Structure 1
Amino acid sequence: MATTAIFRRLARPCRGRAASTAVRPRAAVFFPGQGSQAPGMLAPWAAAHPQATRDVVDAISRALDDAALVRLLTDGGADADMQRTSNAQPAILATSVLIARVLAQEHGVAVARSHFDYVLGHSLGEITGFVAAGVLTLEDGLRVVRRRGQAMEAAVAAWYAGRGLAAPAAGAAPPHELGMAALVVPRDRLEPVMTAISRFQQAEFLAMLPAPTAPPVDRVVELANINSSAQVVLSGTRAGIAHLAGELGLRAVRLNVAAPFHSSVLLPAAQDLFDVVAVSGPDAVPFAEYAPAATGVQIVSNTTARPFASTADIRQSIVDGCTLPVNWYGSIRHLVDACGVTRFLAIGPGRATATLVAREVGAAADVVFAADPAGLAAAAAALRVAS
């Protein structure tokens, strides 16, 4: 994604602006991506909301037939098992949908036009948003992210094998280990940092043209996320991330993920997902028709930072999301600056994504957190008070 294109998009007006009601502010609900997973993450919900939790657990069983994952979610277990991408992604999606259901069933706050104009999610959270908005059922959403996680694991294993490298052992940190790291960007420095990253990637690409070969380990690095005006995320090897962070003079903070999401390393995963999002075929997952004009709720794309236009675009986004960067900053700024959103509800485990949004929007919008049973009633009350 060209840097200049990102900043041009921020200035465009809100197209197809959702019609908000007269009794509440314009609002958006969003869901987190990978990184907030933990063994036993459904246990507090089972204690506080047993029936809603049983319904979600039953959906996991029907969709995935994975008793080990259910035990990991409800009883706990080894953290290494939960860190596996094929477990972490359905775990976070299921927990986020559970929270959304409890909010709707017990507090009357639903992902519908009565409360929200826009739905979005960070990376994996975008697929959670498809479930919350009714484009996918919970069971089909779980099938999609399980297949997505498995395909990503296979792509990472193939990358190591193709280079004759051993996959890192737990607790090890060799230079070739793949992953992600956040860079802390100084105030008002996002655009020059983005320009520098773009120039680095262009130079590396041009250096390979005379004789295409795999880049050395300390050059495997790509832009993965533009999270806010103060944070971007790189995907690649430890050595590659350290090299580029050093050139930029920025501090890199390692993220709690097991793959270099939103990078070319995951191209085989993107190719695998074509069968899942196809209109027909043995592996195809059904999608409901996306009709924002009828529902009054628009889903915002991670990659374009604009609402999706069609179901076909949503299907394609599941493929593209493996390798293209997340423009979260562009999405949030567009909703606030062009669409007039003044309220955000963060639904899902953990608070990292919600904290990013709160810091980005400042006093321009309220951000309400719905992350744990203890805070749910307060979140619902805050939404009602702000109406």
Structure 2
Amino acid sequence: MRCECTQPAWRETALQLQCSKISAHSSEWLAEKLEMLSFIFPGQGSQRVGMGRDLVDAYPECRSTFEEADEVLGESLSRLCFDGPEDRLTLTENAQPAILTVSIAMYRGLVERGLTPTCVAGHSLGEYSAHVAAGTIAFADALGIVKRRGRYMQEAVPIGDGAMAAILGLDASSVKQACDEASNGEIVAPANLNAPRQIVIAGAREAVRRAGEVARRMGAKRVISLTVSAPFHCALMQPVADRLAPELRGLSATDPRIPVIANVDAEPKRDARASVDALIQQIASPVLWEKVVRRLASDGSRTYVEVGPGSVLTGLMKKIDRALRAVAVDTLPTLNDAKELIG
């Protein structure tokens, strides 16, 4: 079944949203250039000290986003984003709400300037940002959920017991074979299928190390150990999924206004229940990012805006399909020049 973002109902709704706050001339420009515009939201690892400060200083909708986050969380997330320290910002329970807040501040800035997506997707944590943008989950609800998601992830596996590594130069089936050969009764598996021959594995520390050695023997160009607080998106995270599931199911979620392509199966989620189920499942399942991008492309998206700190997803786009156009909007100048960057 094809993504409904290519169907008239979705297209009409999206274009109405796109054109609601802009002039007739801009409406024509958007209809021509952005009819199939996808916003993609980054995940953990994209955080940096200072992120979002220039947006807050310049735009009230961005400032109010940070103010809301501070109020909901009962702490100054804005100060942590702007001033650090870096070691506190990189803690999973802090990094996740911080990235969500910066992403939604940037999203609101783009919408205020007349740029609204027809489809959205997010990498891991970024799927929560995508659902806020699609109207599935309220920003305030998402803040509390991702704060606890991060804390539960930190608590699930003792520090030092888990690991993740990027394997470059092998296809997905070869990486899976390396993991299977190296497991020796322990958990190790592909966790992020980011791009062709760029796959991250996760699991028990020694099993990840052994899988890296097998991958090298199989011809991997590089095996890079990643500095992470937990082995994300593998079976070791199942207790987190079980713990977070009732909280997610207890949210006042609504059907998304536009399609959200899920990490777990690269399929569009069209209703609240399917959306929440996908968020639960993705905690202990691999992120099929390459498939997500190819699904968006097969349904007609040719232009992609990375909304949030950094440009990791923009770089991955070039590895997935050079014919696709991607730009990162993560600073005040890029937000101001968004139309020119995209057009």
TM superposition score normalised by structure 2: 0.85
Q: What is the match of residue 244 of structure 1?
A: 211
On the 8 A contact 2:334/2:341 being kept in 1, the answer is: no
What is the Cα deviation at residue 118 of structure 1? 1.3
What is the Cα deviation at residue 323 of structure 1? 0.4
Q: What is the match of residue 4 of structure 1?
A: none
Q: What is the match of residue 184 of structure 1?
A: 168
SS at match of 2:268: coil
Counterpart mapping for 1:138-217 below 5 A: 138-156=139-157, 160=158, 167-168=159-160, 176=161, 178-185=162-169, 189-190=170-171, 194-202=172-180, 208=185, 215=186
SS at match of 1:23: helix
Q: What is the match of residue 74 of structure 2?
A: 65
Q: Distance in 1 between matches of 2:87 and 2:230?
A: 14
Amino acid at match of 2:289: W
TM superposition score normalised by structure 1: 0.76
Runs (5+) with no aligned partner, structure 1: 1-12, 111-115, 161-166, 169-175, 209-214, 279-283
SS at match of 1:199: helix
On the 8 A contact 2:254/2:271 being kept in 1, the answer is: no
What is the Cα deviation at residue 309 of structure 1? 3.7
Q: Distance in 2 between matches of 1:153 and 1:352?
A: 23
Q: What is the match of residue 21 of structure 2?
A: none
Relative to structure 1, the CA distance from residue 84 to residue 136 in structure 2 (aligned partners, 3 Å threshold; closer, same or farther) is same
Q: What is the match of residue 292 of structure 2?
A: 331
Q: Distance in 1 between matches of 2:272 and 2:151?
A: 24
Counterpart mapping for 1:123-142 below 5 A: 123-142=124-143
Amino acid at match of 1:126: E
What is the Cα deviation at residue 15 of structure 1? 4.5
1:53 aligns with 2:57: no
Q: What is the match of residue 227 of structure 1?
A: 194
Q: What is the match of residue 120 of structure 1?
A: 121
What is the Cα deviation at residue 354 of structure 1? 1.5
Relative to structure 1, the CA distance from residue 263 to residue 46 in structure 2 (aligned partners, 3 Å threshold; closer, same or farther) is same
Relative to structure 1, the CA distance from residue 196 to residue 26 in structure 2 (aligned partners, 3 Å threshold; closer, same or farther) is same
Q: Distance in 1 between matches of 2:58 and 2:223?
A: 38
1:101 aligns with 2:108: yes
Q: Distance in 2 between matches of 1:118 and 1:374?
A: 24
Q: Distance in 1 between matches of 2:108 and 2:340?
A: 16
On the 8 A contact 2:263/2:289 being kept in 1, the answer is: yes
On the 8 A contact 1:35/1:256 being kept in 2, the answer is: no
On the 8 A contact 2:44/2:125 being kept in 1, the answer is: yes
Question: Which has the larger displacement, 268-277 or 235-244?
Answer: 235-244
1:91 aligns with 2:98: yes
SS at match of 1:30: strand
Q: Residues 87-112 of structure 1, C-alpha deviation per residue, up to 9 Å, x if partnerless?
A: 0000000000001111122x2112xx
Runs (5+) with no aligned partner, structure 2: 16-30
Amino acid at match of 2:274: D
SS at match of 1:225: strand
Q: Residues 280-336 of structure 1, C-alpha deviation per residue, up to 9 Å, x if partnerless?
A: xxxx3211233xxxx4x2110111111114211111122111100000001111222
Q: Distance in 1 between matches of 2:85 and 2:204?
A: 25
Counterpart mapping for 1:266-281 below 5 A: 266-278=237-249
Q: What is the match of residue 347 of structure 1?
A: 307
Amino acid at match of 1:104: V
Amino acid at match of 1:228: A
SS at match of 1:224: strand
Equivalent residue pairs, number: 317
Q: What is the match of residue 266 of structure 2?
A: 305
1:259 aligns with 2:236: no
1:40 aligns with 2:42: no
On the 8 A contact 1:300/1:331 being kept in 2, the answer is: yes
SS at match of 2:321: helix
Q: What is the match of residue 335 of structure 2?
A: 376
What is the Cα deviation at residue 143 of structure 1? 1.0
Q: Distance in 2 between matches of 1:59 and 1:16?
A: 32
What is the Cα deviation at residue 200 of structure 1? 4.5
On the 8 A contact 1:31/1:120 being kept in 2, the answer is: yes
Q: What is the match of residue 326 of structure 2?
A: 367
Q: Distance in 1 between matches of 2:84 and 2:327?
A: 31
- Of 226, 251, 254, the match for 1:288: 254
Relative to structure 1, the CA distance from residue 268 to residue 123 in structure 2 (aligned partners, 3 Å threshold; closer, same or farther) is same
Q: Distance in 1 between matches of 2:238 and 2:248?
A: 16
